[in-house]
Amino acid sequence: MLSDDLAIVVSHVSPIKAALTWALGAPDQMVWRMFIDVASISSIGMRQGAPCMLGFNETAHLR
């Protein structure tokens, strides 16, 4: 993807946890230590060719 491309992915909790764990380069066991609220927003981006977590479990839009 080019730097100005955007993709929105809507998913269940487990694939989101797996994607965030991948972006952080964390061990697979990390998924069991994450809590993600229903309808929350988590963001992954690319910086210098590597994935990074931009936001996690954001819920301000629900209030």
- Listed by start position, the domains of the chain span 13-62
Which pLDDT does position 1 carry in this prediction? 47
Q: What is the reported pTM?
A: 0.79
Q: Is 24 exposed, middle or buried (0-12, 13-18, 19+ CB in 10 A)?
A: middle
Which pLDDT does position 3 carry in this prediction? 57
Tens digits of residue pLDDT in 5-50: 788 889 999 999 999 999 999 999 999 999 999 999 999 988 898 9
Which pLDDT does position 6 carry in this prediction? 81
Which pLDDT does position 4 carry in this prediction? 67
